[in-house]
Amino acid sequence: MRFDVVAIGRYKTAPDALTMSGPKPEEDEVRGDLLAEADKLLMHALTVDRRLSAADATKVVALGGMRAGEAQQHGLVDEIAELDIAQPDTRRAHTADDLLDKPRTTWGTPNTVAIVPVVGTIVRDDGDNPLPGESASAKRIVKELEDAGNDPSVIGVVLRVDSGGGEVFASELIHRAVKAVQRKKPIVASMADTAASGGYYIVAPCDAIYAEPNTVTGSIGIFQLKVDLAGFFDLTEIKAYTYKTGPLADWRATTHGFTDDERARLNQILSEEYDAFLAKVAEGRHMTVDAVRSIAEGHVYTGRRAKELGLVDELGGLADAVEAVKARARVQGEVALQVPKTVFSLSKAVLGGASAAVNPLEHITALKGRLMRWEREPLALLPQTFEVRP
């Protein structure tokens, strides 16, 4: 296949990607100029808006990505705060439905235990999951936890987890929501088949953790993916050219694997994320960080072994967790169970629920896009699927 083109203007280089094997000198010139301008804008923002010295601004650019605490140290952010603190006004917004008078469907104030399920790969929102199977949307789960925490008829919450983890940031959002509920009423975790990595991250602050003897849990650790398509580019004779100003600016590029400098920098960032993970587990389980570190390192355990190590309180199922909530709330007798509506499962679309009229290439393209997005952040995720049979 070849392309032919008529272009007017020396610098009209947009079609060159289809007609040439490499950039023309004019293309190099244009891209170099654009990059130089972008670099000037960035340096202006750092030196004028953030009041950094030129030397400090250059140092910040050379560091590439960084965590929030380091960004604050370098003067890139003023404060580190949770979303409800940083944007208090948004919490007063209402939808039209909120303003309507709705008829009451129940009378009295029955004692209710809210069941909040976390099933599948933990992502920020439905549709973000690049993997086959269910998605556990942090946006939805946080909303359900907030609703349960604010509902006076709900005496406590059971966080029912069947997840091998997922995005660290999404897990952190759920972790914060769990702690917010805990300040108001009892919240107990109930582990199903799997509650590992990010799945354990979110249950760590619960008042109590219940697991089945054969639950797969632990896997306290994180990692970050990078897609390297250099071999594919060589095979297809596609040539990629990189233009950058910072030494680590292209660390996410698919044209190469991690360089030594990129690997060292990412290792530093991920080590800090890992230490934060250990600290959260230590706080929730009332253990020392060193004690958690000795059983972490990504190690996977059964529920039984996790109980011996202090990662789980009791062996039991969902019913036991409900009873634990009742005991902590000092409520006797029967309670109503509040279970959210079933959410859309991505697996239905990816693994056979989609219409045959849909072009399979569209699914592949969408899947590729979501997978590429996962290069941008650390993951707390089981690398394999485990099934423990008694």
Same structural domain, 72 and 182: no
Say which residues have a Cβ less than 8 Å from residue 101's Cβ, sequence separation at least 6. none
CA torsion through residues 178, 183, 185, 188, sign: positive
**Percentage of residues in the chain with pLDDT exceeding 90?**
36
Q: Residue 275: its pLDDT value, please?
A: 93
Mean pLDDT, residues 330-359 taken together? 57
Give the pLDDT confidence of 160-194 residue by residue, as tens digits.
999 989 899 999 999 999 999 999 999 999 999 99
pLDDT value of residue 258: 81
If you compute the radius of gyration of the chain from its CA atoms, what whole number of angstroms results? 25
CATH number for the domain including 358? 3.90.226.10
Decide if 213 contacts 389 (C-beta within 8 A): no
358, pLDDT greater than 50: no
Q: Does residue 376 share a domain with residue 299?
A: yes
What pLDDT, on a 0 to 100 scale, did the predictor assign at position 192?
A: 93
Per-residue pLDDT of 68-99, as tens digits, reads 888 899 999 988 887 766 565 544 444 434 43
Does 105 map to a domain? no
What average pLDDT does this structure show over 39-49? 89
- Inform me whether the pLDDT recorded for 276 exceeds 90: yes
Whether 241 is in a domain gets the answer no
172 domain residue, yes or no: yes
Residue 252: pLDDT band by 50, 70, 90 thresholds?
Answer: confident
In the predicted model, what is the mean pLDDT of the chain? 79
- Most confident stretch, 189-198, 346-355, 356-365: 189-198
**Distances 21 to 136, 255, 296, 322 between C-alpha atoms, Å:** 44, 16, 49, 65
Q: What pLDDT does 141 receive?
A: 96
Same domain, 145 and 286: yes
Give a yes or no: residue 21 inside a domain: yes
Handedness of CA 260, 265, 271, 273 (dihedral sign): negative
Residue 187: per-residue pLDDT: 98
| Choice between 310 and 299, residue whose per-residue pLDDT is larger | 310
Q: Determine the pLDDT at residue 54.
A: 92
**Strand pairing report for 187-196 and 216-218:** parallel
Domain of 33 in residue numbering reads as 16-86
Region 343-350: mean pLDDT is 34
Which contiguous run of DSSP H or E holds residue 209? Answer: strand 208-211
* DSSP H or E run through 51: none
Please compute the mean of the pLDDT values over residues 35-55 and round it to a whole number.
Answer: 88
Q: Which of 46-60, 292-306, 338-352 has the lowest mean pLDDT?
A: 338-352
Residue 6 lies in a domain: no
| Whether residues 272 and 316 fall in one domain | yes
- How many of the other CB atoms lie within 10 Å of CB of 372? 14
pLDDT confidence of residue 183: 96
**Which residue type sits at 8?**
I
Structural domain count of the chain: 2
Strands 208-211 and 187-196: parallel
Residues 75 and 119 in one domain: no
223 or 122: which carries more pLDDT confidence?
122
How far is CA 114 from each of CA 120, 315, 357, rounded to the nearest angstrom?
A: 19, 21, 40
* pLDDT top residue among 54 and 354: 54
Give the per-residue pLDDT at 233: 81
Euclidean distance between CA atoms 11 and 84, whole angstroms: 48
- Residue 99: its pLDDT value, please? 36
User: Is there a domain that residue 236 lies in?
Assistant: no
Mean pLDDT of 100-104: 42
To which H or E segment does residue 343 belong?
none
In a domain, 301, yes or no: yes
| pLDDT at residue number 254 | 79
Q: Does some domain include residue 221?
A: yes
Are 137 and 69 in a shared domain?
A: no
Nearest-5° Cα angle at 375, 56 to 160: 115
> pLDDT grade, residue 345 (50/70/90)?
very low
Looking at the structure, tell me whether residues 206 and 350 fall in a common domain. yes
Residues 307 and 176 in one domain: yes
